[in-house]
Structure 1
């Protein structure tokens, strides 16, 4: 009787969970990412051991049913299939020099152990606010794929470009972060709208966007504006661009030089969180605008000091029905 534990099954399982892990990371679901990433590493590590011999998947605990089955001495598998865990599989691969040894001067092995520990913690207890182990996950999988002589692109599928971004040592940390966000956003866009008929996305784009320059918030220090922009990720004109001007630049100045603070696309979810990410995405630091570009205000200004800024902007004081036309 053939064993239900085979290299091909372990490898295919590792590939499936690797892609699920990448999807979870793109959706910023850290717990699901850790669960799937841990399973993927465990199955791929076991596949590497199984390629040598299935007996390497057996536990050393005094029970030899699995050992005899994998060695071919027992034709039928035991009623309960039990193989080694991820930590043991990784430990054996380290002894075989497939994965990095634990050294005081190296954190790569520690990061891998941390990924597996967090996977176990999420599976049993749940965890929050943990370190991002995406790079550790991708690096470990890459080492195992190289050892097995398997093609990285066929393993990662649609996530191959994202993996190349993570592995690019030439790019700085900020550039890699922005490029990865962009790649993940494009994947979300394709996934969300792949089954819609042609032209449907155009209608959705019109529904979620608003043209013109809008006052979002005012304060004694200045004002925050919102305008429509083309998304650097999906290419659709569906991104809300948030622009800031300090109080000095607002005084009696109809031509504004607004600093780009952040961006959020309503279709693919691409987000730039600060001015540094904006620059890394290739957007200009400032955009010129005129007060004549203003269409309406969505900011309520109950405080007199904040209302003064609104007056200096040349706008009417915003009342409780904040969506009045300017």
Structure 2
């Protein structure tokens, strides 16, 4: 079979498109994300079909393509036609590799829309889960390891399909991973000293004091604290010192003065940020887990 239509070519193309999609999502380019995510699904779906039988990617209306994919007829490159993403998914459902998934169907529609017109960025932003879920299913059918395909995105896509966690929590986890990878990419090919120097650059705004990531430290009973104060906190994405902003507790005034709680966090180095009580609660949970993992005793041999 021609190299562009080989299993290896489809698998390689799927991986490249999937990584582009995750990078697009991290930059907030959700129309580009939808386009590359759809391409990733299409190419990986074709890889699965080709692994079973090369003629499974042929258009039914083209007898010449069937013969070409069967190895008995040579066609010029400009005459080669294969099925699209929608039909590839449909065929995999007919042979019970994929189950019905309205979100995957929506992602494919968004991919087609992004290729010809603007897509709905709000809806596209939420399409990481169907992408991750479909890729996992197809890789499992191929017997291909998830981490080989996703590389540094493995943990992020595993978290994206973890239904035991809430949507806001999964979104914050993903944004931390995206900020981390974007930060790392800035220093590719540069001496490690450059990265370390960047982490030591002080914030432009004066910081009140360092804090630990736990629920108690997110509250303050101090008449000298104001909603405009900023507190120092280690960024879970790049480990630089970011800032925590505070807001008054509703009906939270005590004998010593008003009480405040954290309502946001931002890191000026990697641009990771969270806003509001839901995102802040998810952020604290992620930070607590990371801190617990860092301080857990090493397993005995």
- What's the counterpart of residue 244 of structure 1? 247
Pairing 1:292-311 to 2, within 5 Å after superposition:
none
Q: 2: CA distance between counterparts of 1:197 and 1:145?
A: 36
- What's the counterpart of residue 268 of structure 2? 266
Deviation of 1:257 after TM superposition, in Å, equals 3.7
CA contact (8 A) 1:34 1:115 kept: yes
- What's the counterpart of residue 161 of structure 2? 167
Structure with more of its chain in helix, by fraction: 2
Q: Indicate whether 1:53 and 2:53 are aligned.
A: yes
Q: 2: CA distance between counterparts of 1:2 and 1:114?
A: 31
SS in 1 for 2:98: coil
Pairing 1:273-292 to 2, within 5 Å after superposition:
273-282=275-284
- What's the counterpart of residue 130 of structure 1? 122
Q: 1: CA distance between counterparts of 2:250 and 2:97?
A: 60
Q: 2: CA distance between counterparts of 1:79 and 1:277?
A: 51
- What's the counterpart of residue 105 of structure 2? 113
CA contact (8 A) 2:176 2:237 kept: yes
Q: Deviations over 1:28-74 (max 9, x none)?
A: 2101110110000000111111111111111122x322111111111
Q: 1: CA distance between counterparts of 2:77 and 2:261?
A: 67
Deviation of 1:24 after TM superposition, in Å, equals 1.1
Aligned residues: 266
- What's the counterpart of residue 99 of structure 2? 100
CA contact (8 A) 1:66 1:77 kept: no
Q: 2: CA distance between counterparts of 1:249 and 1:223?
A: 13
TM-score computed with the length of structure 1 as normaliser: 0.74
> Is 273-282 or 114-123 further displaced after alignment?
273-282
1:227–1:136 distance in 2 versus 1, CA, 3 Å: same
Deviation of 1:208 after TM superposition, in Å, equals 4.6
Q: Indicate whether 1:196 and 2:190 are aligned.
A: yes
Deviation of 1:125 after TM superposition, in Å, equals 0.8
Q: 2: CA distance between counterparts of 1:155 and 1:249?
A: 50
TM-score computed with the length of structure 2 as normaliser: 0.79
Q: 1: CA distance between counterparts of 2:23 and 2:113?
A: 20
Q: 2: CA distance between counterparts of 1:7 and 1:92?
A: 17
1:279–1:248 distance in 2 versus 1, CA, 3 Å: closer
Deviation of 1:171 after TM superposition, in Å, equals 2.3
- What's the counterpart of residue 70 of structure 2? 71
SS in 1 for 2:228: strand
2:139 to 141, 145, 148: 145
Deviation of 1:77 after TM superposition, in Å, equals 4.4
Q: 1: CA distance between counterparts of 2:178 and 2:276?
A: 18
Q: Deviations over 1:240-287 (max 9, x none)?
A: 32222479989x97x76432111111112211111222222227xxxx
1:23–1:247 distance in 2 versus 1, CA, 3 Å: closer
SS in 2 for 1:199: helix
1:281–1:74 distance in 2 versus 1, CA, 3 Å: same
SS in 1 for 2:122: coil
Q: 2: CA distance between counterparts of 1:124 and 1:59?
A: 22
CA contact (8 A) 2:180 2:237 kept: yes
> Is 82-91 or 176-185 further displaced after alignment?
176-185
Q: Deviations over 1:265-320 (max 9, x none)?
A: 1112211111222222227xxxxxxxxxxxxxxxxxxxxxxxxxxxxxxxxxxxxx
Q: Deviations over 1:148-178 (max 9, x none)?
A: 1111100001101101211223323332222
Report the aligned-residue RMSD: 2.7
CA contact (8 A) 2:249 2:259 kept: no
SS in 2 for 1:243: strand
Structure with more of its chain in strand, by fraction: 1
- What's the counterpart of residue 294 of structure 1? none
